[in-house]
Amino acid sequence: EGKPVEITNQYKLLSVPKKNHEPEVTDSNYKQTKLNCFQVDPYCCQRRTPLQHHNKLLTDAFEILEENAEYIESSNDTKGYSRNLAYRRVLAVLRSLPQAVTSVKQIKDVKHIGGHSQKIIQELLEEKCCLEVEEIKRSVRYNKMKLFTGVFGAGVSTARRWYDTGMTSLNDVIQHNEDRSTAQKYGLAFFDDLNMPVLKAEAEQVKSIVKNITESILPGVSVTVTGGFRRGKTVGHDIDLLISHPKEGAEIGLLGKILEKLQQLNLILYGSHNKCTYSERHFTEEPRDPPTNSQMDHFEKWFGIIGLPKISTEKTVLIAENDASDKSIKDLVDLSKSEKSWTAKRVDLIIVPSSQYFYGLVGWTGNKMFNRDLRLYAQKELNMRLSSHGLYDLTKGCLLTSNSEEEVFKYLKLPVIPPELRNC
Ligand code: DCT
Ligand code: MG
């Protein structure tokens, strides 16, 4: 994670919850206030970061640099330093600033914006574009990696392998006879559908389908749309649904029944059901292992693709023959191109036990950078271990159970940042 960040008194003062985002301006403190606008707290979980911010010219460019760094970096050659992470930190700072940067001087001493990033900002402010960024946008490698990482089931290392093997189009990949996971086959065949932005209305439509099914199995269940939509985004790449029940333990075995029902309704195209073990599910009662810092949680979950009827209807629509799992990629491509009354959508269903609900909610709301800093901050500043399952105080040796999202922030001694301001 690089060097630990020292919290100075000045930062501590800035971390006190503010009623109003902008400080009060009087004539005498005007100049100082102007400069303070560009003063930031070190961790993005301490800052308010809206979706619509003031520095889009800069962030558009840094998004390309960040993406490209991810494509280039391999997980074992960075030796602790990651350019991708450095750019993500620059992005998080720029998105949180309450004003547009108009001169590089304003951000000279701003945390996380290093020399190279300052040069890029200066160039962008003066020229409205940046040579390095323009070159990346034109590069074959960047464009092919962007295309290949857009395939569901293919991460950066798969995309790199395809690129290094000389494949240049999705057709090349489809025709190449290398082993591919079932997820990748579906990702390739339904590439167009899955790369159409998911609309908020579609997320709500899937939520209500899942809610109706689940309620009929287990009354009193809650289904919540999380991820980007909960942070106020109007489009996304998938639909993240958190499923829970107020009675701890009632959720056990629920997901299997939900999937069975979805299958009967012919709504499932592809899915992978990750069951969790008893000890993972019950760690809050037997806290032998404090929650780890690992990105992936241990909730029982399903990652899949559903065929969402284009017109909202409660009636079932025949999507594909039930047993789609051993179809050839050619059959799948034909199916994806056929005249159909549905579109393929990525859906994640996550089962969260009631006692872990608010930690799961924070984790699955994100964004990714917010989570990363929240966990880092908890560890470095409070000696606490945070995950989507809970918060463990390593000093006191106890788990802190939470009954609201606000309480999670209170334990962490942070101002309550609402979901719409977690777009770091
Ligand atoms: N998450 C995380 N770390 C990851 C992946 C996800 O902390 N490596 C959390 C943060 C957001 C949430 O899970 C849902 O993940 P995504 O659906 O990938 O992100 P999103 O913010 O919902 O973005 P999108 O709108 O593209 O779906
Ligand atoms: Mg999402």
Q: What is the 18 CA–ligand 1 centroid distance (Å)?
A: 28
Distant-in-sequence, close-in-space partners of 86: CB < 8 Å, separation ≥ 6: 69, 112, 114, 117
Question: Can the peptide bond before residue 367 be classed as cis, meaning omega within 30 degrees of 0?
Answer: yes
Long-range contacts made by residues 413-418, C-beta under 8 angstroms, separation at least 24?
Answer: 413/382, 414/15, 414/45, 414/46, 414/377, 415/15, 415/16, 415/17, 415/18, 415/46, 416/17, 417/45, 417/47, 417/48, 417/370
> Residue 203: is it exposed, middle or buried by C-beta count within 10 angstroms (0-12/13-18/19+)?
buried
Tell me the pTM: 0.87
Per the listing, tokens 């056929």 go with: 338
Contact by Cβ (8 Å): 268, 255: no
pLDDT tens per residue across span 359-409: 999 999 999 999 999 999 999 999 999 999 999 999 999 999 999 999 999
Tokens of 129: 């574009």
C-alpha atoms less than 13 angstroms from C-alpha of 260 in its C-beta half-sphere: 7
State the CB neighbour count (10 A cutoff) for residue 136: 20
Query: Which of 88, 295, 299, 371 is the best mutation target for the ligand 1 pocket, counting ligand atoms within 8 Å of the beta carbon and taking the most?
Result: 371
Q: Supply the residues annotated as catalytic.
A: 238, 240, 348
Give one DSSP letter per residue of 318-335, joined into a string. Answer: --S-S--TT--HHHHHHH
Choice among 7-11, 183-187, 372-376 with the minimum mean pLDDT = 7-11
Query: What are the backbone angles phi and psi of residue 224, rounded to the nearest 5°?
Result: -125, 130
Full DSSP string of 246-278: SSTTTTTTHHHHHHHHHHHTT-EEEEEEE---H
Q: How far is CA 105 from CA 126, 152, 157, in A?
A: 13, 42, 39
Mean pLDDT of 253-260: 98
DSSP lists the bridge partners of residue 198 as 236
* Percentage, residues of the chain above pLDDT 90: 75
Contact criterion met (CB below 8 Å) for 24 and 67 = no
User: Of 53, 62, 52, whose CA–CA distance to 100 is shortest?
Assistant: 53
Q: Whose CA is nearest to atom 6 of ligand 1?
A: 368
Query: For 76, what's the count of Cα atoms within 13 Å in the CB-facing half-sphere?
Result: 1
Query: What is the CB < 6 Å shell around ligand 1?
Result: 227-228, 233, 236-238, 240, 295, 363-364, 366-368, 371
Residue 322 confidence (pLDDT) = 45
Query: pLDDT of 57-115, one tens digit each?
Result: 999 999 999 999 999 987 666 566 799 999 999 999 999 999 999 999 999 989 999 99
Q: Whose CA is nearest to atom 7 of ligand 1?
A: 368
